[in-house]
Amino acid sequence: MNKKIGTKILGTGSYFPEKILTNADLEKMIETSDEWIRTRTGIKERRVSEKDEPTSELAYRASIEALKSANISLEQIDLILVATITPDMLFPSTACFLHERLGLANPVPAFDLSAACSGFIYGISMAKAFIESGLYKTILLVGAEELTKFTDWTDRNTCVLFGDGAGAMILSASSEDNDILSVFLGADGSYSGLLDLAACGTACYKKASINERKIKMQGREVFKIAVPKMALAAEKALNFSEKELKDIKLFIPHQANMRIIEAVAKKLGISMDRVFVNIHKTGNISSATTITALDEAVKTGKLQKGDLAELIAFGGGFTWGAAVIKM
């Protein structure tokens, strides 16, 4: 009988554009204050991509870092998955642009997946299923976003929240290890109107105003639903993994708002010293938050080899999800 295939995490990487937009910069653009933004969101600054630096470029740079950390050659990759809601174009996919930018000689499949801020966790679930079914052996999974290009810079309710960045993970088939212990995903489309980016989608192509093509959000309503759904996802994934809260070294929630993160920790009954936070310097970068936070936790030694972590996310759709992983 064939030995069961597990999914091993070989490496992670991340990349942020160089340009920093601080709360002080925003004070010059809209009626706001550093104090309001910090106390309501926890954000102090965010990164902003250049006009000629598309999402696939951030994805490329994060992928190169992940390949280095995994210590594998490009040619070992046999599938590219990119989670994004801010693609270079409607098509070709950002994954195809990344394929080209990497200079991959192999015509391996490449496609995007759209699950907003839960995108990377949806991606982990897909990568695990592809690997453990035996279909693909080594997957490059990326979460990459340029939300600042779809931000309404006249709307102080939303423009203080978002940033740009990308993170990548290499996952591979293993007969010895299984680093993705469990994944739980959920969605409820009835909430779609509370947080959206109509952009140039087919439902909205008649919209004349450019500002109608930007991210729109009813922040307070999103907040109320995000907290219970993230806590639920965390509990479900933990149950599926047959682990307990005490077994998790670090909880890595979606970095949308510091108050959401604290409320989820309180609901789960965990202290904040077990929760990874880097929102102060990134803002909300949607599908890239959990992977860039995980990468930073690994690189700063907060997560060591063999430690368990739980990624937890919530986003537009609404979508939510959590994954228990071993580094």
Residues annotated as part of the active site: 117, 254, 284
* Phi, psi angle pair for 187, to nearest 5°: -155, 150
Tell me whether residue 143 or residue 315 sits nearer to ligand COA (CB atom).
315
- What are 85's strand-pairing partners? none
For 29-163, strand residue ranges (E) read 45-48, 79-83, 110-113, 138-146
Q: How far is the CB of 237 from ligand COA (least distance, A)?
A: 18
Cα gap 65→60, rounded to integer Å: 9
Q: How far is the CB of 68 from ligand COA (least distance, A)?
A: 30
In the DSSP assignment, the letter for residue 151 is -
Q: How far is the CB of 166 from ligand COA (least distance, A)?
A: 17
Nearest one of 53, 250, 253, 66 to 141, comparing CA atoms: 66
Residue-level length of the chain: 327
User: How many CB atoms are located within 10 Å of the residue 320 CB?
Assistant: 31
Tell me whether residue 17 or residue 119 sits nearer to ligand COA (CB atom).
119
Q: How far is the CB of 314 from ligand COA (least distance, A)?
A: 6
User: How many CB atoms are located within 10 Å of the residue 265 CB?
Assistant: 21
Tell me whether residue 117 or residue 234 sits nearer to ligand COA (CB atom).
117
Cα gap 157→145, rounded to integer Å: 20
**Which token pair is 115?**
């699950």
Chain CA centroid to CA 57, Å:
16
Tell me whether residue 11 or residue 315 sits nearer to ligand COA (CB atom).
315
Q: How far is the CB of 29 from ligand COA (least distance, A)?
A: 10
Q: Which residues bind ligand COA (CB under 6 A)?
A: 32, 36-37, 40-41, 117, 156-157, 160, 217, 219-220, 222-223, 226, 256-257, 260, 284, 314-315
Contact between 283 and 48 under an 8 Å Cβ cutoff? The reply is no
| Position with the least CB separation from ligand COA | 219
Tell me whether residue 165 or residue 315 sits nearer to ligand COA (CB atom).
315
Chain CA centroid to CA 129, Å:
19
